[in-house]
Amino acid sequence: MTKKITSVTISNFRGISEQMSMSFTKGNDNRGRSILLYGENGTGKSSIVDAIEFATRSVVSRRTIGGKKDRRELQNLIESTAGPRVDIAFGNGESYSRGAGKVSPDVKKLVRLNPVPGFEICPLVIRRRDIDGFWTMPEEVRQSLFFDYFRDLGGAFLDEEARQLAVKTYQDAVSLHEKALAEIVPYLDRWEGEYPEHTSALSGLRSHLMYEHGSGHPRALPVVVEQLFKNFSASLKGRNLAAAAGKQALTQGVNDRSRVQNILTRVSKRAAADFRTVTGAEWVTDFIFTLTGETGIKIKLLTRGKTIDPTQILSEAMLDLLALLIFIEMHIECAIAGQEKIIILDDVFQSVDRSLRMRTLEHLGKRLEGWQILLTLHDRLWLEMANRALNAAGNDHLILELRRTTAHKQPFLLTPATGPLRDLQHCIGTQAPATLTAGAAGRALEAILEEATQVLQVTIRRKVDDKYTINDLWEPLRADLLKSEPANMSSIVKRIEDSRFLRNSVGAHFNAAAEGISSLEISDFADAVMALRGALTCHCGSHFKRGGTAGGKWKLAPSCKHRIAVASAQP
């Protein structure tokens, strides 16, 4: 059964000092959905992203040049001294916890490097720095970019150097622990049984030492013994941390180069197809990935029978796009091998040229059909575009906003409004003055007309410099809507026609006579604007398109995957 995250609870993790819960579900429906996580820089989006990867894979570090790890601090070091903890639940009923504290019987406690089943093969997160660093990575060590992907495919190591490094690290840790054990054994005369093999047993060892030193009564340890105990504890922890990779390295070989090459070939062909779809660059035939040396990958662009270095022909924006597509296709390849279909894109579209973002996300929405996506962003305009793109792809998602204020020690989540009705709904919800509500309704109407005339392909007479007033858009759309179904569309059109003057007389300009207009009239105008929006769009926010004709009326048809009958508009 495919896993989908339904909730994450984070405690004392990086920028989150207290406890924060994040739900991936809606109402009573326990299906895990995709998330658009919006927030300004510094609000804590990356803390949430790292917490999810920590919970599922026990790591947030990444390999860099030569396999070296880029380590990141997990614990919040400012507000709390407690250890970090992340609890994660899935739609199939499984719940896991990693970090400090006890758990209930129905939650599985994850220890050491054990990942959640289904998350062994590759990371969950593609980060902006992955994209930015792709082409600056020297060709001779470019396999390091995929170190955390290749290693778990079949349990093999990326190269012999990495395998030997894991063996040496483990052997050194074992030797250090044996030395620490030998130094503390003389103080354990009355110890019975095996010496501790896990850190959970260290408290018992310490108690024994205290009683041993106190002749049957617990006493503080002498400085020398205290230091020996600390050395033993640290060496035991270090040995156990290195054990999984070390034992694997002793029994596993390096990756079969032919297998790795086949993976890269499949990934590159799909990335080339993605690239052509997004950019329209049909002259790009393929991208050729070739393994070189122990850790190198050579990448060439194939066009008209010739191979060219992509960095010599593609712009920086195109190179960043290509890097993102390669990582996406690598995740798809890992999903084919058994990884769960969950992916986190952390601020990656900031590296993609603005003109390509919408097309890229619309395409990826289709490529990642059936996946759970968490997309972080800090631009509200891009949030609106991403919301529209995922709606068009039929990806069921939620929008969450992360905020941080001086009154709160940690960020908090809220559900922001999106779309053309955002400000109008805020005015209504806060009982804003009539003038502000009229202005918001007028702006919403403009946005609705702008979108509707384009999607429904309404004929509009060209004007000099394409400068159109609200009347230039409304009149042809009004005439068109009166010829459409549902039948009561005409009542909504009439309500807009009767009240749209309020946009100018009250909402846009000062008018002394209009200052005394009743709030009921403004409310009717706002209701009419919202009714028009509701009549033209699906519940997911995507716009209905022009459908077939019947009985002299043309029909509104869904443009999304919600194949529902277009309901009668509410007058």
| Cα–Cα distance list, 432 to 438, 448, 522, 531 (Å) | 10, 22, 11, 20
Is it the case that residue 368 has pLDDT exceeding 80? yes
pLDDT of residue 74: 53
Provide the pLDDT for residue 82: 64
pTM of the model: 0.65
pLDDT, tens digit, 9 for 90 and up, residues 422-479: 788 878 878 888 778 888 888 888 888 888 888 888 888 766 666 667 788 888 888 8
- DSSP structure class, residue 560: S
- Tell me which of 46-55, 254-263, 382-391 is least confident: 254-263
The segment with the largest mean pLDDT, out of 27-31, 324-328, 536-540, is: 324-328
The sign of the torsion formed by the CA atoms of 55, 56, 58, 64 equals negative
Average pLDDT estimate for 163-170: 81
Per-residue confidence at 385, pLDDT binned at 50, 70, 90? confident
Structure confidence at residue 417 (pLDDT):
61
What average pLDDT is seen over the chain?
Answer: 81
More confident residue, 212 or 13: 13
- For residue 66, what pLDDT band results from cuts at 50, 70 and 90? very low
CA distance readout (Å), 385 to 183, 356, 361: 64, 12, 9
Contacts of 98 (CB under 8 A, 6+ apart): 54, 55, 58, 85, 86, 109, 110, 111
DSSP state of 431: T
Residue 153 has pLDDT above 60, yes or no: no
CA distance 182 to 392: 66
The larger pLDDT score, comparing residue 24 to residue 40, is at 24
Domain boundaries, the chain: 5-152+318-414, 163-251, 422-557
What value does the mean pLDDT take over residues 365-391?
88
pLDDT band at 418 (very low <50, low <70, confident <90, very high): low
Stretch among 78-82, 169-173, 177-181, 265-269 having the lowest mean pLDDT: 78-82
Q: What is the pLDDT of residue 567?
A: 47
Q: What angle do CA 290, 257, 313 make, to 5 degrees?
A: 10
pLDDT(91) > 60: yes
Beta bridge partners of 375: 36, 345
pLDDT class for 506, splitting at 50, 70, 90?
Answer: low
pLDDT of residue 457: 85
pLDDT value at residue 216 = 62
Tens of pLDDT, residues 37-65:
998 888 888 889 999 999 998 876 554 44
Reading the block at residue 125, the tokens are 């997160």
Higher-pLDDT residue of 324 and 482 is 324
Read off φ and ψ for residue 50, nearest 5 degrees. -65, -35
Banded pLDDT at 150 (limits 50, 70, 90) = low
**pLDDT at 78 (0 to 100):** 43
Both tokens assigned to 275: 């690239």
Burial of 73 (0-12, 13-18, 19+ CB in 10 A): exposed
- For residue 282, pLDDT over 80 is answered with yes
Strand-pairing partners, residue 336, are none
Residue 77 has pLDDT above 70, yes or no: no
Of 174 and 510, more confident: 174
Please give the pLDDT value at position 510: 63
pLDDT confidence of 511, banded at 50, 70, 90?
A: low
Task: Give the burial string for 239-248 (b: 16+ CB within 10 Å, else e).
Answer: bbebeebbeb
Residue 314 dihedral angles phi and psi, to the nearest 5°? -95, 145
For 519-563, write each residue's pLDDT tens digit. 788 888 888 888 888 888 877 677 888 888 877 788 888 876 655
Give the pLDDT of residue 48: 92
Selected from 3.40.50.300, 3.40.1410.10, 3.30.70.360, 3.40.50.360, the CATH number assigned to the domain covering 5-152+318-414 reads: 3.40.50.300
pLDDT (average), residues 304-331: 93
